[in-house]
Amino acid sequence: MQNNYLIQRKLDFQSYQLKLLVLLGCLLILLMSTVPVRSESKPFVAPLIQASKTRAELVQSVQKSVVHIKVEQKLANVMRPFQNQPRQEGSGSGAIVRSDGYILTNHHVVGTADKITVQLYDGQELKARLVGTDPATDISVIKIEGKDMPVLPMGDSDNILVGESVIAIGNPFGLSHTVTFGIVSAKGRAGIGIAEYEDFIQTDAAINPGNSGGPLVDLEGKIVGINTAIFSRSGGYQGIGFAVPINMARRVMTELIESGQVSRGWLGVGIQDMTPELAKAFGLDRVKGSLVTGVMPGTPAEKVGLQKGDIILHLNGNIVENSNGLRNIVAEARADAKVDLGLVRNKVPMTLSVRLDERPKQPRQADVNSSNKLPSPELGFTVQELTPEMAQRLGYETIQSGIVITAVKPDSPAFNGGLRAGMMIVEMNRQSINSMDDFQQAARGTSPEDGVLLLVSTPQNSQYLFLQADQG
């Protein structure tokens, strides 16, 4: 019995030793497994921390070149046009692009402003003047007096990739130098209806009212776009913003600084996009290209024999994706430039070489200073005959002819009376106006001091306006 007892005690002791060894082994394994995790976690965390600090340093550097733009503009009072007019204040953003004080922004921010004030990063406020503006791309250049200004370098918007990180800086709702972060959601967006020439960068970086004109920058701190608009049902940020590519804005900026205006190549055709139905009807195996719907007399297109029904597929070897692409390529070419058009006519491929003209700004324009073409130079507006291109651009799809307002002088009787560029004159003093001859005939003998009754229309509505020259 004693031997059995001793044997049992020995077995119990051995079992205890085994359990102790197992427990110690588990503790050792636990220690060995936890220590390396802690030591190996640092290499993963450190790059994130460093990337965050690098981005913050980038933002601090870029912010110094971003400005807050404040504008004032007189409002037209149609009901009482000769009383003192109220003033509307607005706000936007801009980027310093030259050390001598040139600032890149949007046309819709400053293009019609009577007074422009720029607030720098340090809070200093300076008066600015409008150097030039281009409504067709919604780009403007303003200037402040200064030297050695902090400049924001320009990147290459052609090389930016969808999915690439970008930063938007501006003054949404007057909140100066607000920074938002996102990605490039898409490139080459067109048909938005924001500007005549559209090739937008789409981004999900938060953009709100007041961001307009501010820079969209890459992670190298270079401008890749000028923030222009948002797509929103509420008026606020919903994840879709648009920026003018800096490559387009840079060309416009250069010409505005050098000459105050933008010169564009011109072909002289009406065009529309291809659809699957049209492609099938014209015998094409792909939905690409631009369909010619009309050829204007005396234009480069007519001179080389372009015809209605031609489908332009290439320009200088570059694929023409759609009508917007063709319009942009032609516009970016200089006047007198020779280009090769690759097209299909009646299912037969061919190539035409054409020398572009400069796009007419105001063909057959009645000069504001010409008393035999306008009721009076004191009224302050210019007109021209409607072209098919203008009709398409302005939205007068069902109108074949007429007279359109091309410019209205700020603070003029025309401006104060409610006349705006893009309106069509339907009647003058109860006489129908369908051509320049009709307009000139109605204008003869009209006394601006007695007033001019105009029936004007837009694609949305029509209204009568009464204009009268100021009495001195």
Catalytically active residues, by annotation: 108, 138, 212
| DSSP string computed for 364-408 | T-B-TT-TTTSS-GGG-EEEEEPPHHHHHHHT-TT--S-EEEEEE
Q: What is the 3-state secondary structure (H, E, C) of 269-286?
A: EEEEECCHHHHHHCCCCC
What is the bridge-based pairing of β-strands 338-345 and 311-315? antiparallel
CA distance 62 to 292: 45
**Which regions of 153-262 does DSSP assign to beta strands (E)?**
165-170, 178-189, 200-203, 215-217, 223-230, 241-245
On whether the CB atoms of residues 111 and 140 are closer than 8 A, the answer is yes
Cβ-count burial of 174 within 10 angstroms (0-12 exposed, 13-18 middle, 19+ buried)? exposed
SS3 of residue 91 by DSSP = strand
CA distance 15 to 206: 68
**Which residue is it, tokens 């422009």?**
116
At 399, list the tokens. 């109108």
Q: Which amino acid, 393?
A: R
Strand partners, 462: 457
CA distance 306 to 16: 101
Cβ-count burial of 264 within 10 angstroms (0-12 exposed, 13-18 middle, 19+ buried)? buried
CA distance 417 to 470: 12
SS3 of residue 201 by DSSP = strand
CA distance 223 to 245: 9
384-417 residues labelled b (16+ CB within 10 A) or e (exposed):
bbbbbbbbbebebeebeebbbbbbbbeebbbbbb
Strand partners, 452: 467
